[in-house]
A and B are shown apart, each in its own frame.
Chain A
Amino acid sequence: MVFNSYTFIAFFIVMLCLYNLPIAWKARKIILLLGSYVFYAAWNPPFILLLWLSTVVDFFVGRALYTQTNVTKKRLLLVLSLIGNLGMLCFFKYGTFLLENFVMLVNLIGIDFSPAKPNIILPAGISFYTFTTLCYTIDMYYKKSEPVKSMLDFSLFVTFFPHLVAGPIVRPPQLVPQFESPRNATMKQMTEGLLLLTLGLFMKVVLADGQLAPTANDIFGNSGAYLALDAWMGVLAFSGQIFFDFAGYSTCAIGVALCLGFVLPENFKYPYAAVGFSDFWRRWHITLSAWLRDYLYIPLGGNRQGQLKTYINLMVTMLLGGLWHGANWTFVVWGGLHGFYLWVEKFIKDKFSRKNAPVDQDIAVAGITASNSSLAFIYALFTFFLINVTWVFFRATTFSQAWTLLSSMFGMSGDVEPALTTLAIIKVSVIISLMVIAHWLMRKSSVLQLALKIPWWFLAIVWALMLMALALSQESSSSFIYFQF
């Protein structure tokens, strides 16, 4: 089920009541686990079998990996886990994509092969829970942490409903210890959780679905050329939509977990205030970038094997990171563009960092130094501009559509009719401007810190207005964009 639905509100109220019953901790954990399965099965019940399979296999393989002393057997076990997890992901997520590319390839060499198109349904959240279980078995292989003692705790670690279908991607040490002793949300956690839940829903329902999605869909829904203004508004709308959608989900997830007394890791930190791309990936989908860094980039060699290898590792990580987002070459190009930007940034950093000592470490990332914050803001705007270019490949369904839109953005569309209404342009301009300003002002802070700083009556009014906007939006409970990844 999705957070932005009446079903979830009812489910959450029931879960809160049951979880807070004065019963044994183990019984409360069983309630949480069963609730999490209901949460998942409410989508497509048969896919819960995959979740069980993944949980059971990785629990036992993880334990065996930790205790196994024979290196060959240990490697075999790791391969078993990788094949199990990645095989499932490959089949469900990349099956059709792989087949299409295979067909294209054999057709290119003159073999006439046209198989029936497979009808594979993508299980919700498979990319997320696969990464969650994978990091456990890899940690066990390297003995980075202790194996989880009970099947119940491990199942709950994998399945805990707030993070199950779209993250944040949690690591065992972040969540498993929280299941070991009884937890009850304090009043402070409860109110903070409810504030975050309201904010997350406001971001998703009001801003992403209600105000920005229609404009993004209008522009990306057609493959024709546009005037530069229309093309930019469409891309900016998507830029805002994907942030509010995904950060909204993460904010809801963190808020829901907090209401139950659990702390999930931060996943977004005002990414559109990033100065440079290293900074962006420290602020956007933080748990995924940390996962890719720790389980892909570093095992590939990271920056320890010379400059050339570092550049290659960086690009491989970003290309695979792109492919993780979707089974389409456009996602690979999106990742490649980010890799390229990181290359350029690293090159500048390596060349100039020793000559110009940064004034402010926080904004002087990737070798870009700034003597004052207004210059840093200009760098941030430039980063935002480049990020918008990458979003074109992320959202476009074909390269031809992406090129046409990019041409339109840079005024090379020729003689075309305007497309967007004045109201749509006003909405996008106002929301995106406020979003960028808010990101910049909040870049060193957090929502909860701000909530404690402002007068209580002002917070109450803002909170009530968000609730009112939610009630008046009446958007249907559409899925979160990242569910498809």
Chain B
Amino acid sequence: MSSTPLKRPAIAAALLFVLGILAWEFYQRKEGVNISYDDDGPLWAYHRARVYQPADQSTVFIGSSRIKFDLDIDTWESITGDNPVQLACVGSTPLPVLYDLADDPDFKGRLVIDVTEGLFFSTNPGNRARPDKALKYYKDITPAQCASFVLNRGLESTFVFLDREDISLNALMEHWEIPSRPGVFMAPIFPRDFDRVKFDRQEYMGPIFLADTAQINKQRSIWALFASMNKKPPISGAPLDSILQTVKVATDKIQSRGGQILFVRTPSSGPFKEKEAMGFPRDQYWEKILAVTGCPGLHYEDFPEISAYQCPEFSHLSPTDAIDFTKHFIRILQEKQGWKFPKMKSI
């Protein structure tokens, strides 16, 4: 027997592995899949650490998925010349992040808070799980995790197959959509190309999704399912006032340090818009936020140029509309809110 009996299988295994991974990578690329980053704690923590830039050079965005889809980071960056920091979390209330920034004496920057009423005012613990997890990761991060993030960034920027959301082993198994036992809730599987993520945490719908009506309809039905699951009436009365008061305390803290805050309501359309209008009448929620906190706000319905978008799945803008929305948003901020961008380029 050879004195190194495992040498041959080791070399063969390495070759097979490299060939297998490359074949898988080429197959995914051929299918039209592109790079998408894992939008989990490490990426969020990286951007959270970037909030300490001067207010006239950076804007921090918090909220739910809408601001992630609707605000085009590249457009914002190229026009305003400042460094946007996207800290919104999909399917989540922004309040844990708002409270964290308020309690951070070093944060004195410009903050845009996206309001999706159903999530913003949610008391469901599930709607704060992501921001809580991200904040915990940020606070407990170790030097080893920082180093892993740097290495991972290089790999994730190179290989499509490292897309955890859609092509990981578990994601592939989930896509089998094996019917489950009666009575077991199965979290719906989002269409593969619906939510792609860039390194700056910009979320966007991919071309495969946008070209496939069946996938768009599937996503619409998922939103409808989520809406039907929530049987509770929207929060009102004392619990609502209590949330508003804590928001006011947080916004006051930031403003007292020289920070600047703006609330924004981004577009929705179709049945989604109608249900939101019924569940969360503007005067009882949106107007109340502004009245209680005394902060300025920008509601898309107040501006004709951004009020008529048709969201493909009723809730988020397509990438093209996101660019358009961002351009108008910047202009409105300058004209109506007096925002200044020292490094601004012309629109």
Contacts and interface: CB of A to CB of B under 8 A. Distances in A.
Contacts of A426: 178
A431 interface: no
Contacts of A186: 4
Interface centre among B5, B9, B24, B173, by most A CB within 10 Å? Answer: B9
Contacts of B183: 417-418
Contact of B13 (A8, A463, A474): A463
Interface residues of B, number: 50
A83 interface: no
Contact of B169 (A5, A7, A206): A206
Interface of B: 1, 3-10, 12-14, 16-17, 20-21, 24, 38, 40-42, 142-145, 147-148, 151-152, 155, 161-164, 167-170, 172-174, 176, 178-184, 186
Given A421-B180, A472-B169, A474-B164, A45 B6 contact: no
Contacts of B41: 476
Contacts of A463: 9-10, 13, 17
Given A475-B168, A476-B41, 8 more contacts: A7-B151, A10-B151, A211-B170, A420-B181, A459-B9, A460-B8, A461-B13, A474-B163
Contacts, number: 143
A149 interface: no
Contacts of B142: 1, 42-44
Given A2-B144, A42-B144, A471-B21, A423 B180 contact: yes
Interface of A: 1-2, 5-10, 41-45, 186-188, 191-192, 194-195, 206, 210-211, 214, 417-423, 426-427, 451-452, 456-457, 459-461, 463-464, 467-469, 471-477
Main secondary structure of the interface of A (DSSP, over half): helix
A461 B179 CA distance: 32
B170 to A, nearest CB: 6
Given A10-B151, A41-B143, A461 B16 contact: yes
A478 to B, nearest CB: 11
A129 to B, nearest CB: 18
A9 B152 CA distance: 11
Given A210-B170, A468-B20, A471-B21, A42 B9 contact: no
B144 A464 contact: no
B178 A422 contact: yes
B152 A6 contact: yes
A468 B184 CA distance: 32
A59 B178 CA distance: 59
Nearest to B164: A474
Contacts of B143: 41-43, 45
B6 A192 contact: yes
B168 A474 contact: yes
A423 B13 contact: no
Nearest to B8: A456
Q: Which 9 A-B pairs have the closest CB atoms?
A: A463-B13, A460-B12, A464-B16, A42-B144, A1-B144, A191-B6, A6-B151, A474-B168, A474-B164
Contact of A451 (B3, B6, B168, B184): B6
A242 B14 CA distance: 29
